[in-house]
């Protein structure tokens, strides 16, 4: 990791930070979930580094990217991704997005189809329309904002220990970057949760080859079997794989299976099997 570049691009009027492995092969952009940052992909990047030129972006308000008072909706995040791709002159990268990052990657693929090769979405925040009420959402945002503020006051070591206790199946390599991300995130990023446009509209616009990764709802995964089925039925470009024994953080909980699926789906890793 010591040789990974730490750089910025100016896009949409703000500075967006990213780390880059500058390895061989096609570009692969890793897009993190809410309150994480780019280096939360460290374990996966280390695994795929010999095969790809990997770019780990810090979304606006996260990591070392600029913050802003508003503009945390998925459309703005997708525009930042498009700006990064265009500024770096990347040739049709593939993208992997987790949670919020999956939502942003989906919007990017739909709105900027010429910029994208393949996409993988790891448990994006796609719920049935009736699963969360407005009142429940507002309560979640209020409580989460307070949690972010309080967590930022804690030491890195205390945050790491909290992570170990509550995520005993994660590899030790995960906890340092995860703790760092919680110290750096701006609470305003929770504006993403106020999104009103439906994810179903985003799915309909996607024309590239897409893989939806789901996991066990009873372990904390978001995408239900019913939602996953509706995605693949409504868009022939989607395939879906359910990974058992994992919750919302699929790659952290079932890493080997996750990497196997990535290598099977993406180009230039010994030939796509999809």
Q: What is the mean pLDDT of residues 40-49?
A: 98
Whether 131 is covered by a domain: the verdict is yes
Tokens standing for residue 73: 């909706």
Residues spanned by the domain of 256: 5-265
Give, in degrees to the nearest 5, the angle at Cα 31 between 26 and 32: 145
Flag whether 46 is in a domain.
Answer: yes
* pLDDT given for residue 135 in this prediction: 86
Question: Is residue 192 assigned to a domain?
Answer: yes
Residues 241, 261: Cα–Cα separation, whole Å = 9
Q: What is the CATH number of the domain that holds 163?
A: 3.40.50.1820
Q: How confident is the model at residue 130 (pLDDT cuts 50, 70, 90)?
A: low
In a domain, 237, yes or no: yes
Domains identified in the chain, total number: 1
**Is 160 inside any structural domain?**
yes
Sign of CA dihedral 225, 230, 233, 234: negative
User: Could you read off the pLDDT of 224-273 as tens digits, one per residue?
Assistant: 999 999 999 999 999 999 999 999 999 999 999 999 999 999 976 544 55
The pLDDT of residue 273 is: 53
Residue 27 resides in a domain: yes
| Per-residue pLDDT at 1 exceeds 70 | no
Given a contact cutoff of 8 angstroms between Cβ atoms, the answer to whether 79 and 88 are in contact is: no
Single out the residue of 161, 141, 152 nearest to residue 185, CA to CA.
Answer: 152
Its pTM stands at: 0.95
């Amino acid at each position: 990791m010591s040789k990974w570049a730490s750089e910025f691009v100016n896009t949409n009027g703000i500075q967006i930070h990213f780390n880059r492995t500058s390895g061989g092969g096609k570009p692969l952009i890793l897009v993190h979930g809410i309150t994480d940052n780019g280096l939360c992909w460290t374990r996966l990047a280390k695994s795929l580094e010999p095969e790809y030129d990997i770019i780990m972006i810090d979304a606006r308000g996260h990591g070392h990217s600029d913050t802003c008072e508003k503009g945390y909706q998925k459309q703005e995040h997708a525009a930042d991704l498009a700006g990064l791709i265009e500024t770096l002159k990347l040739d049709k990268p593939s993208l992997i997005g987790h949670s919020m990052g999956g939502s942003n990657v989906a919007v990017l693929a739909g709105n900027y189809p010429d910029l994208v090769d393949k996409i993988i979405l790891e448990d994006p925040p796609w719920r049935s329309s009736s699963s969360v009420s407005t009142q429940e959402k507002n309560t979640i945002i209020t409580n989460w904002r307070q949690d972010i503020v309080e967590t930022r006051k804690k030491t890195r070591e205390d945050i790491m220990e909290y992570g170990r206790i509550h995520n005993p199946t994660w590899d030790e390599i995960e906890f340092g970057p995860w703790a760092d991300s919680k110290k750096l995130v701006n609470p305003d990023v929770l504006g993403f949760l106020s999104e009103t446009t439906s994810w179903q509209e985003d799915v309909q616009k996607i024309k590239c080859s897409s893989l939806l990764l789901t996991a066990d709802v009873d372990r904390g995964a978001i995408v239900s079997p019913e939602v996953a089925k509706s995605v693949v039925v409504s868009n022939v470009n989607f395939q879906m794989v359910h990974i058992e024994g994992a919750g919302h953080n699929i790659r952290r909980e079932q890493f080997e299976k996750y990497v196997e699926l990535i290598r099977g789906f993406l180009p230039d890793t010994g030939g796509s099997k999809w």
